[in-house]
Amino acid sequence: MADIRITGRMVNFTRLTFDTHDHDAIRQQLSQMLKEASYQGALVIIDTTVEQELIALIQLLISLDLQPMAVIDGLLGDQARAIQFPVIAADRPLQRIKATREQVTEAPVVAVDSNLDTAQPDQKNMAFKPHANSHLTSYHDEILRTGQCLVQDHGDIIVNAGINSGSEVIASGNIHVYGSVRGRVIAGASGNSTARIFCHSLEAELVSIAGTYCVADDIPEHMIKKAVHIYLNDQQELEFQALQF
């Protein structure tokens, strides 16, 4: 009898992409993100757009109770190979496109002339200033084609047509697709577990909310090509709910 057995298992990884090598900034931002989402002990794959000291970055992630598993080949590839750390081939780049339009929803800050403190509200000089936590909604009116990627880092995405296979929609908030979903749909990308996905016809290659994902083969058969609402339940599992029109 053989002493080695090979079995398969689907394992969730979280990809971290760094646009800075300032480890103080990385620690501060990651600590905040980890408070807002259940990433404790998460397996992570490291990517970067700037030069990094890999060993120091790995140590930083471990100190935040993350488990670095590999790096994406690129700027960190040579450092990883030098210490025999796993290297994963880089993705085929997608073309990041702009949405047809964006809408900003922001909390107004009321500026009042100090000389009018006793005036009636309608007499005061009120000015509206953008709030730091403005929420954006991206609207896209065309079909998202193979090789294209639509991203909204600070809000929701509404696609008024379908998305083809080999395309990707990523939002920190909710995603609505008023057409067929054949590509990858990733909501709650910043760790927002309350984010939701709505679509008119579910045929996706992958759906994900806050790092919990489901590939095409695991989507419930009775939900395929149906109008579906997808969300995370109390156990942080993806729930698929048919929509009635």
DSSP state of 76: T
pLDDT of 40 over the 50 cut: yes
CB 154 within 8 A of CB 132: no
Question: Please, what is the end-to-end C-alpha distance for the chain in angstroms?
Answer: 58
pLDDT (tens digit, 9 = 90+) per residue, 23-36? 999 999 888 877 76
Domains held by the chain: number: 2
> Which residue, among 228, 93, 225, has the nearest Cα to 166 in the 3D structure?
93
Answer whether residue 41 is part of any domain: yes
Dihedrals phi, psi of 77, to nearest 5 degrees? -60, -50
pLDDT of 41 over the 70 cut: yes
Is residue 71 domain-shared with residue 143, that is, in the same domain? no
Q: Where does a domain end: 26, 59, 88?
A: 88
> Domain containing 162 — which CATH number?
2.160.20.70
Q: Where does a domain end: 88, 111, 144?
A: 88
Helix (H, G, I), strand (E, B) or coil at 159: strand
What domain range is 44 assigned to?
Answer: 14-88
How does residue 93 score in pLDDT terms, banded at 50, 70 and 90? confident
- Alpha carbon distance 217, 205 (integer Å): 8
Q: Where does a domain end: 30, 54, 88?
A: 88
Is residue 74 domain-shared with residue 164, that is, in the same domain? no
Is residue 70 domain-shared with residue 146, that is, in the same domain? no
How many residues belong to the chain?
Answer: 245
pLDDT of 194 over the 60 cut: yes
pLDDT (tens digit, 9 = 90+) per residue, 180-193? 999 999 999 878 88
Single pTM value for the model: 0.62
pLDDT of 196 over the 60 cut: yes
CB 200 within 8 A of CB 183: no
Answer whether residue 9 is part of any domain: no
Is residue 83 domain-shared with residue 140, that is, in the same domain? no
Of 3-7, 174-178, 232-236, which range is least confident?
3-7
Answer whether residue 128 is part of any domain: no
